[in-house]
Structure 1
Amino acid sequence: MGLREDIERFREIGEERREDLESFIRYGDLSGSQSDTIQIPIKIVDLPEFAYDRLDKGGVGQGGDGTPDVGQPIGQPEPQPGDGDGDEDGEEGEPGEEGGEHGHYEMDPEEFAEELDEELGLDLEPKGKEVIEEIEGDFTDVTRTGPNSTLDFERLFKQGLKRKLATDFDDDFVREAMRIEGATPESVYEWCREENILVSLAWIESEWEEIDEAERDRWASFEEMTENVERTTPVQRIRRKGLREVPFRRDDERYRHPEIEEKKQKNVVVVNIRDVSGSMRETKRELVERTFTPLDWYLQGKYDNAEFVYIAHDADAWEVDREEFFGIRSGGGTRISSAYELAKEVLEAEYPWSEWNRYVFAAGDSENSSNDTTERVIPLMQEIPANLHAYVETQPGGTAINATHAEEVEDAFEDSGDVVVARVGAAEDVTDAIYDVLQTESSSTGGDR
């Protein structure tokens, strides 16, 4: 491999490479990102280049003082006053005092959601809820009344033409029947009915007078006449004589109206619930953050309008802001139902199910006060309609003996399509848990419960 190939290889590696999304979620620094901007570190590799001595004094092969000793770097300038020691004003810092620049790739939640879909193989289709406006669509609806400007002329003409073709008859053919020996208007009319020729007796009687008496015995019978006289179809007559009139009726009139379409906004409210009791140590809190933060970004990127509610709880529950949610810690006991009671109250007051998609995500180490899960939490989950309920158990090193909440929820909603339990024991489990939660929503109907 030559020098040119080396340079091209370094250039390929040295392009700004964004950290793998899955690795970023598992191990990256999430704190540098905001709710609407995700900052993902990028890898920067400097390209190799020749460095020339800035001083014009000697070098290899020049002898004298410019000849380097063995092992001495080639082309390194002699230290100059002020190099690394600061100038007279003291503006230069000590070596290593200033950190190097770190690059970041910025993406918004929408791009994050698209890439997470691709990376994890998800396909969540958000549901529209709140009607924000009614718009006029195509003119596909019709009514019997309306302004003349919306009259459906095409339909009117087609209806009239159908009637013309159905009622039109070959008048020359019927007149020949009047020239049958012994025929009368009544017998001609009866013959026409048998032949499905739609002609009235009144028309026959009016035309009867026009037939010359000398022609009334031209044919001996109707059979002889039909064998010798060609009967033309309505289409043949229209082609020959043209279409002079079309029989329209008032009942044929239809007026076009635009179809009214409801444009719905895809609203979502995400309720994040976290156990902040004394048992939730730093590692568990970090696992909650690594799971819930990407879920927030993802749903914000998927929906037109996303709002978030953060609830912390020990034995009691209270609302907090996003910054407090992941760092807060309490020393109290645990009663998970207090959080669901508050969540239900907030959702009913501010986010009606008819207008909002709802996600209720809870996380903790599965420890709960005695009988609280079966007697209060599970009934509350059943009372709160949502696209998805999820519980994320964070238990590094395995589930503790008294940590039964996740298992009890799992057993209670075993046959439900809109409740999921995920377990995170280490950072490596985070993306699998996110997949389990979102995949359950992708396959769920999100209907009322």
Structure 2
Amino acid sequence: MGLRDDLERYREVGEQRRQDLAEFIQYGDLGQSRQDSVQIPIKIVDLPEFEYDQRDMGGVGQGQDGQPQPGDPVGQPQPDDDGDEDGEPGEPGEDGGDHEYYEMDPEEFAQELDEQLGLDLEPKGKQVIEEVEGDFTDITRSGPSSTLDFERLFKQGLKRKLAMDFDEAFVREALKVDGWGPATVFEWAREQHIPVSKAWIEEAYAELPADEKAVWDSIDEMTDAVDRESTANRIRREGVDQIPFRREDERYRYPEIEEEREKNVVVVNIRDVSGSMRQKKRELVERTFTPLDWYLQGKYDHAEFVYIAHDADAWEVDRDEFFGIRSGGGTRISSAYELALARLEEAYPWADWNRYVFAAGDSENSSNDTEEHVIPLMEEIPANLHAYVETQPSGNAINATHAEEVERHFRETDDVAVAYVSSPEDVTDAIYEILSTEDES
């Protein structure tokens, strides 16, 4: 392998490629990113290159200017210009490597996640923002001449030409049968499905010389002696010199009016902030909800987010507070859904907005609140998708039954997803579970 091959190999390895997306979601520093900009670590490999020493060190093999001669003993390592000696801090492996970030917007993030997880969520347009002209697919009987569908007119005329055409020479020979006149030939032509008019036959008979009106003794003798040429053969031989266009065949194209709909989405993120939601549980919520926010923001034209925290009561917070806030109160999940319902009905009507309601916690809830209040509220809130994410790093607690109750009740529906996250390794599976449920519905 030559130097050029080495260089090409290093180029391939040294491309600034994005860290594996699943690895970034599971273990990466999500805090480096903003809501509208995703910062993904990339790995840098420097290309090897020759570097010429610019110091005046003398020529090769010259015994001057302090250059060692063959056989001279090698002295102790000398300090570098910055004062560090070999073996002191600064050795390979002790300093951190070069780190840079690839910045992608939420739309690119959504495309990458679709590819990695095998998803293809198709956003639904809700609010009509304008009506636009689409393709010229509709047809009318009147319109400006510039929109005349000439191709259709020509085809209709050609069909009529083929339907009206007949072998004139063959019919003229029938007029030469002894004792046959125009009326007899016309009846015979109808039996033979020859589309000839009686007027044409009478005119052709009048033009026949008298000595040609008894050439054949019978019609059978004529048909045995004269071959009837098909219309297709005759057109191939002679071409088409005239197409019978008619006004009733005229059609005019006009554009189909299409409604351009803006793909609006509101995402309601609900998080349990009660005393049982310790740091590891909060981190798992952030790892799951943050990529979902990026994904939906990248999929829709316009995205808005509502963040609701709750213990026994619920209140709205901003995004920065949402993932770090902690309370010491008890838990009543229905309080968050009551607030979510009020906010959605107030500002985000179902007719104009796609809705996603995502909740997360450790599945602990006050007695009977899930069955008596949360589930009825979920059924009352129309949404593209409801999802609940249980975060239990140490496994299920005895009284952590909220996720199971929701999953059991909505088992047969296609707009509710339940996911379980006990470690960062479960995050991408949880995201897939949620988004694939929406994809299927």
Q: Same fold (TM over 0.5)?
A: yes
Q: Which residue of 2 aligns with 1:385?
A: 382
Question: Is the contact made by 1:129 and 1:354 (CA closer than 8 Å) also made in structure 2?
Answer: no
Deviation sequence 1:408-443 (CA, Å, 0-9, x none): 10111122222221222233333332232223333x
Q: Which residue of 2 aligns with 1:128?
A: 124
Please say if 1:404 is aligned against 2:415.
no
From the superposition, tell whether residues 174 and 122 of structure 1 become closer, same or farther in structure 2 (CA, over 3 Å): closer
Q: Which residue of 1 aligns with 2:26?
A: 26
Cα drift, residue 126 of structure 1: 2.4
Cα drift, residue 268 of structure 1: 2.4
Question: Which of 366, 369, 382 is the equivalent residue of 1:369?
Answer: 366
Q: Which amino acid aligns with 1:208?
A: Y
From the superposition, tell whether residues 182 and 299 of structure 1 become closer, same or farther in structure 2 (CA, over 3 Å): same
**1-side partners of 2:159 and 2:7: how far apart?**
79
Provide the secondary structure at the position in 2 that maps to 1:173. Answer: helix
**1-side partners of 2:353 and 2:233: how far apart?**
64
Q: Which residue of 2 aligns with 1:428?
A: 425
Question: Which of 142, 153, 167 is the equivalent residue of 1:145?
Answer: 142
Question: Which of 222, 226, 249 is the equivalent residue of 1:252?
Answer: 249
**2-side partners of 1:174 and 1:102: how far apart?**
92
Q: Which residue of 1 aligns with 2:355?
A: 358
From the superposition, tell whether residues 308 and 159 of structure 1 become closer, same or farther in structure 2 (CA, over 3 Å): same
Q: Which amino acid aligns with 2:192?
A: E
Question: Is the contact made by 2:113 and 2:119 (CA closer than 8 Å) also made in structure 1?
Answer: no
Provide the secondary structure at the position in 1 that maps to 2:207. Answer: coil
| TM-score normalised over the length of structure 2 | 0.81
Cα drift, residue 19 of structure 1: 5.1
Deviation sequence 1:158-197 (CA, Å, 0-9, x none): 2122212212233333333223222233222211211222
From the superposition, tell whether residues 51 and 278 of structure 1 become closer, same or farther in structure 2 (CA, over 3 Å): farther
**1-side partners of 2:107 and 2:360: how far apart?**
25
Please say if 1:229 is aligned against 2:226.
yes
Cα drift, residue 51 of structure 1: 13
Deviation sequence 1:321-370 (CA, Å, 0-9, x none): 11111122233322211211222232233333344332211011112122
**2-side partners of 1:7 and 1:142: how far apart?**
63
Question: Is the contact made by 2:275 and 2:327 (CA closer than 8 Å) also made in structure 1?
Answer: yes
Map of 1:15-414 to 2, 5 A cutoff? 20-42=20-42, 73-77=77-81, 103-119=100-116, 121-130=117-126, 131-238=128-235, 243-414=240-411
From the superposition, tell whether residues 44 and 223 of structure 1 become closer, same or farther in structure 2 (CA, over 3 Å): closer
Provide the secondary structure at the position in 1 that maps to 2:298. Answer: helix
Provide the secondary structure at the position in 2 that maps to 1:327. Answer: coil
| TM-score normalised over the length of structure 1 | 0.79
From the superposition, tell whether residues 239 and 293 of structure 1 become closer, same or farther in structure 2 (CA, over 3 Å): closer
Deviation sequence 1:63-121 (CA, Å, 0-9, x none): xxxx966xxx5233596xxxxxxxxxxxxxxxxxxx999643333223333333444x3
**2-side partners of 1:214 and 1:101: how far apart?**
110
Question: How many residue pairs get matched?
Answer: 418
Higher alpha-carbon deviation: 321-330 or 244-253: 244-253
Cα drift, residue 50 of structure 1: 10
Question: Is the contact made by 2:121 and 2:438 (CA closer than 8 Å) also made in structure 1?
Answer: no
From the superposition, tell whether residues 221 and 388 of structure 1 become closer, same or farther in structure 2 (CA, over 3 Å): same
Gaps of 5+ in 2: 58-64, 84-95
**2-side partners of 1:318 and 1:164: how far apart?**
78
**1-side partners of 2:25 and 2:241: how far apart?**
78
Gaps of 5+ in 1: 80-98
**2-side partners of 1:229 and 1:212: how far apart?**
19
Q: Which amino acid aligns with 2:31?
A: S
**2-side partners of 1:11 and 1:156: how far apart?**
61
From the superposition, tell whether residues 391 and 172 of structure 1 become closer, same or farther in structure 2 (CA, over 3 Å): same
Question: Is the contact made by 1:59 and 1:74 (CA closer than 8 Å) also made in structure 2?
Answer: no
Q: Which residue of 2 aligns with 1:95?
A: none
Q: Which amino acid aligns with 1:30?
A: L
Higher alpha-carbon deviation: 285-294 or 3-12: 3-12
**1-side partners of 2:193 and 2:146: how far apart?**
39
**2-side partners of 1:197 and 1:212: how far apart?**
24
**2-side partners of 1:202 and 1:78: how far apart?**
115
Q: Which amino acid aligns with 2:327?
A: S
From the superposition, tell whether residues 101 and 156 of structure 1 become closer, same or farther in structure 2 (CA, over 3 Å): closer
Cα drift, residue 252 of structure 1: 1.0
Q: Which amino acid aligns with 1:425?
A: S
Deviation sequence 1:271-309 (CA, Å, 0-9, x none): 100112232223322221122112212222233322211
Q: Which amino acid aligns with 1:74?
A: Q
From the superposition, tell whether residues 433 and 154 of structure 1 become closer, same or farther in structure 2 (CA, over 3 Å): closer
From the superposition, tell whether residues 46 and 238 of structure 1 become closer, same or farther in structure 2 (CA, over 3 Å): closer
Cα drift, residue 227 of structure 1: 2.3
From the superposition, tell whether residues 273 and 245 of structure 1 become closer, same or farther in structure 2 (CA, over 3 Å): same
Question: Is the contact made by 1:17 and 1:43 (CA closer than 8 Å) also made in structure 2?
Answer: yes
Cα-Cα RMSD: 3.9
Question: Is the contact made by 2:393 and 2:422 (CA closer than 8 Å) also made in structure 1?
Answer: yes
**2-side partners of 1:115 and 1:375: how far apart?**
40
Cα drift, residue 23 of structure 1: 3.7
Q: Which amino acid aligns with 1:285?
A: R
Question: Is the contact made by 1:334 and 1:367 (CA closer than 8 Å) also made in structure 2?
Answer: yes
Question: Is the contact made by 1:169 and 1:197 (CA closer than 8 Å) also made in structure 2?
Answer: yes
Q: Which amino acid aligns with 2:27?
A: Y
Higher alpha-carbon deviation: 232-241 or 275-284: 232-241
From the superposition, tell whether residues 189 and 282 of structure 1 become closer, same or farther in structure 2 (CA, over 3 Å): same
Question: Which of 406, 414, 417 is the equivalent residue of 2:414?
Answer: 417
Identity of aligned residues (%): 68
Deviation sequence 1:14-71 (CA, Å, 0-9, x none): 887765543433333322321012223456688999999x999x98969xxxx966xx
